Amino acid sequence: MKRQYIFTLAAALLAAPASYAQFAATGTTTLSVTVSAEAALSVTTSTTTLAAVGTIFNPYTGTTNLTYKIRTTQSTGTGSITLKVTSDFSPANGPSVTTPPTAGDALTYTCTVAAPGTACSGSITSSTSSSTSVATFGSAASSGNSGNAASTAWSLTNDPVYHTGAYSATVTYTISAT
Amino acid sequence: MNLRSKLMSVLILAGGPVQILFAQQKARIVVPSSRVLPMATTLSAISASPATISFTATDPDAGPDSGSSSATVSWSTSGGSAASTWTLKVHAAAASFTGCTTVKRSAVTVTCGGVAGGSAGACGGAITLSGTGQQVASGKESTSANAPYSVTLSFTLADSWSYIAKQSPSCTLSLTYTVTAP
């Protein structure tokens, strides 16, 4: 019995591999992230020229392009792009958003918005007293990292009472997300 | 005699000096020092502190987000060999953060900031997290018992507009560290 035991032990030693056994251990870390709702936009047409073309007294028209970036919250998030005329046309004796020289004169616009935004519906009359919609966004909306396109196509009444000359107004776009 | 012949055969195979045993002696095996097999290194459990690293992704245009702190990964070895190299690897089994499927593990970069313990400790280059272990540090083993090692790692998260916002509960991703010490 003893002989058998000795031989078995010796055989095991001789059969052991030349390389060492590998031992490994593992540990963990948890990475946690909160992703905030966020939005930004850039108006790429810094100055939009409104010009009348075609038939006499056709409206003055022009287009303002912008790029938006947005991400809204899962399930409950919303977003919007709005605009407001923050500085009415000047100098005087020309078009005016606040006090049109003739009833019915208006600065209106229509919207084009790339997904995931939903463009405003129809023609909207701009205002100096309240913001008006350009686009809306639902929950879990996200844009590309380089931004998505949107634009507003303007139309300004061409009223014969306007004195000749150049007039300018300022429009401010605002984007928000929750 | 039968016992002697068997022992002779075994010891000759071992290739070293032999000690002839007689039937009256207590049987034992003598292995020359040149043939002593080395002991494998014993590893302790690995700990990482703090256990959780947090990111706050608030503005994708502001660049990558740094984690709330760096992490220190620690362990110890016994029976190490100065000629042997240990390695630390890290991976994330899940492809994206739990609860934020738009935030992929590949958005996380792991950078080694320092190595302590053993000798010749060195950081590897920064790695982008994946599902397979990638080496972030290595070094030579200490021969001391309960020899401590630590590696400091920092994390950055590439923020993106493509992420869907989610603030509560936060989204999580579990990282696994693997130390290999021969």
Using left for φ > 0, alpha for ψ between -120 and 50, and beta otherwise, residue B147 falls in beta
**Tokens in use for B182?**
């021969």
Nearest to A166 by CA among A116, A93, A99: A93
CB contact under 8 A, B54 and A34: yes
Confidence at residue A25, expressed as pLDDT on a 0 to 100 scale: 82
CB contact under 8 A, A13 and B14: yes
Q: What is the mean pLDDT of chain B?
A: 85
B30 and B73, same domain (yes or no): no
The number of folded domains in chain B is: 2
Which tens digit of pLDDT belongs to each residue from A28-55? Answer: 999 999 999 999 999 999 899 999 988 8
Element (H, E) at B59: none
* B38 in contact with A, Cβ within 8 Å: yes
Confidence at residue A43, expressed as pLDDT on a 0 to 100 scale: 98
B56 and B135, same domain (yes or no): yes
Is the predicted pLDDT of residue B16 greater than 60, yes or no?
A: no
* A15 in contact with B, Cβ within 8 Å: no
For B98, phi then psi, to 5°, come to -65, 125
* Residues from chain B contacting residue A37 (CB–CB below 8 Å): 165, 167
How distant is the Cα of A2 from the closest Cα of chain B, in angstroms?
A: 8
Is the predicted pLDDT of residue A114 greater than 50, yes or no?
A: yes
Give the architecture-level CATH label for domain A38-177: Sandwich (2.60)
Is the predicted pLDDT of residue A26 greater than 80, yes or no?
A: yes
B155 and B71, same domain (yes or no): yes
What is the pLDDT averaged over residues B74-85? 95
B111 and B144, same domain (yes or no): yes
* B128 in contact with A, Cβ within 8 Å: no
B23 and B63, same domain (yes or no): no
Beta-carbon count within 10 A of B22 CB: 9
CB contact under 8 A, A33 and B3: no
B88 and B29, same domain (yes or no): no
pLDDT band at B119 (very low <50, low <70, confident <90, very high): very high
The 10 Å CB-count burial string (b at 16+, else e) for A124-156 is bebebeebbebbbbebbbbbeeebbebbbebbb
* A77 in contact with B, Cβ within 8 Å: yes
B67 and B14, same domain (yes or no): no
B56 and B132, same domain (yes or no): yes
Q: Tell me the residue range of the domain where B152 lies.
A: 42-180
B83 and B126, same domain (yes or no): yes
B22 and B111, same domain (yes or no): no
CB contact under 8 A, A20 and B175: no
B28 and B106, same domain (yes or no): no
* Domain residue limits, chain A: 38-177
Measured between CA atoms, the residue of chain B closest to residue A145 is B161
B48 and B23, same domain (yes or no): no
